[in-house]
Structure 1
Amino acid sequence: MTSPNRYTSRGHAGLRFLAQRGLMKPFIWSLTSVQVYGRENMDDLQPPYIVVANHASHLDAPLVMGSLPTKQARYLATNAAADYFSGIRWQLTRLFFNAFPVDRTGVRGRNRITKDLLDAGIPLLLFPEGTRSMSGEMGAFKPGAAALSIGQGVPCLPVAIAGAYDAMPKGANWVKKGRPPVTINIGRPMSAEPDEDAVAFSERLAKEVRALTDEAMERRERADRARGKID
Structure 2
Amino acid sequence: MSLVDDVRQVRRGWHWGEVKPRSWPERAPAVPDRSSNLGWARAEPVRSARWLLQKGVSLPFTRVMANPQVRGAEWMESLERPAIIAANHASHADLQLLLYALPDRARERTVVAAAADYWYQRPWLGRLVSLWLNTFPFSRTGGPQAVLHHSSQLLKSGWHLLIFPEGSRSADGRVQEFKPGVGFLARETGAPVVPIHVRGGQRIMPKGRAYPLPAPAQVRIGRPLQAQGKESARAFAGRVERSVRELAAGTDEPDVIGSWIERWRAAGPPSGAAARRRS
TM-score range, shorter chain: 0.7 to 0.9
What residue number does 2:136 align with?
A: 100
CA distance in 1, matches of 2:134, 2:66: 23
CA distance in 2, matches of 1:63, 1:18: 17
Does residue 114 (structure 1) correspond to residue 151 (structure 2)? The answer is: yes
What residue number does 2:192 align with?
A: 155
Query: What TM-score do the two structures reach when normalised by structure 1?
Result: 0.87
CA distance in 1, matches of 2:67, 2:39: 36
- Given that 2:77 and 2:103 are in contact with CA atoms closer than 8 Å, whether structure 1 keeps it comes out as no
Does residue 211 (structure 1) correspond to residue 243 (structure 2)? The answer is: no
Structure 1 position 44, deviation (Å) = 1.9
Q: Match for 2:58: what amino acid? A: M
For the structure 1 residues 130 and 53, does the alpha-carbon distance in structure 2 shift closer, same or farther, using more than 3 Å as the test? same
Determine which of 121, 127, 142 is the counterpart of 2:164. Answer: 127
Structure 1 position 164, deviation (Å) = 1.2
Q: Match for 1:109: what amino acid? A: A
CA distance in 2, matches of 1:94, 1:197: 32
Structure 1 position 20, deviation (Å) = 1.6
Structure 1 position 124, deviation (Å) = 0.5
The 5 Å alignment of 1:1-231 reads 1-2=35-36, 5-6=39-40, 8-85=42-119, 86-107=122-143, 108-176=145-213, 179-217=214-252
CA distance in 2, matches of 1:82, 1:126: 13
- Given that 1:7 and 1:122 are in contact with CA atoms closer than 8 Å, whether structure 2 keeps it comes out as no
Matched position secondary structure for 2:196 = strand
Identity %, equivalent residues: 35
Deviations 1:143-202 (A, max 9, x none): 1011101110110011110111122211112223xx311000011111012221111111
CA distance in 1, matches of 2:142, 2:200: 31
- Given that 1:141 and 1:206 are in contact with CA atoms closer than 8 Å, whether structure 2 keeps it comes out as yes
CA distance in 2, matches of 1:29, 1:164: 13
Structure 1 position 21, deviation (Å) = 1.9
CA distance in 2, matches of 1:215, 1:105: 33
RMSD: 2.0
Structure 1 position 33, deviation (Å) = 2.9
Structure 1 position 9, deviation (Å) = 2.9
CA distance in 2, matches of 1:45, 1:73: 13
What residue number does 1:225 align with?
A: none
CA distance in 2, matches of 1:208, 1:103: 26
For the structure 1 residues 27 and 213, does the alpha-carbon distance in structure 2 shift closer, same or farther, using more than 3 Å as the test? same
CA distance in 2, matches of 1:130, 1:4: 22
Matched position secondary structure for 1:148 = helix
Structure 1 position 16, deviation (Å) = 1.4
CA distance in 1, matches of 2:188, 2:232: 10
CA distance in 1, matches of 2:85, 2:129: 18
Q: Match for 1:97: what amino acid? A: L
Structure 1 position 132, deviation (Å) = 0.2
Structure 1 position 5, deviation (Å) = 4.8
For the structure 1 residues 175 and 8, does the alpha-carbon distance in structure 2 shift closer, same or farther, using more than 3 Å as the test? closer
CA distance in 2, matches of 1:96, 1:41: 25
Ranges in structure 2 where 5+ consecutive residues have no aligned partner:
1-34, 256-279
Ranges in structure 1 where 5+ consecutive residues have no aligned partner:
221-231
